[in-house]
Amino acid sequence: METLRIGGVPEHFNMPWQLLLQSPKLSKKGISASWTDFSAGTGAMIEALNNDEIDIAMLLTEGAVKGIDNGGRYKIVSFYVDSPLIWGIHIPESSPYRDIDEIQGKTYAISRYG
């Protein structure tokens, strides 16, 4: 039996995949599947798809389109999360900054490169 290799970021919206893989539902249908966490995000999953390391990836649509435009050897077959991905600027509660203008010229970080 071949194994369906699935990848995604270790985030809450992939919990349905985790629950499915922990249940007997796939094996009852003769399907073997494995999951790989990609903490590095969309870019790492695109590389894994292109290198035939995974068969399915749950990745950001914008990154997938960019990857295809850059010669990626995969295609988009469906959408998994249909709500917009909204990014925010977050600070510790103890931060002295209270307004977006106050962080101009300051150093900050992103969660991951995609």
* CATH number belonging to domain 3-69: 3.40.190.10
Q: Quick: pLDDT tens for 43-69.
A: 999 999 999 999 999 998 889 999 999
Query: What CA–CA distances, in Å, run from 92 to 105, 106, 113?
Result: 18, 15, 22
**Which residue ranges make up each domain of the chain?**
3-69
Q: Quick: pLDDT tens for 96-111.
A: 888 888 888 888 777 6
- Report how far residue 101's alpha carbon sits from residue 94's, in angstroms, rounded to the nearest whole number: 17
Q: Say if residues 74 and 24 touch (Cβ distance below 8 Å).
A: no
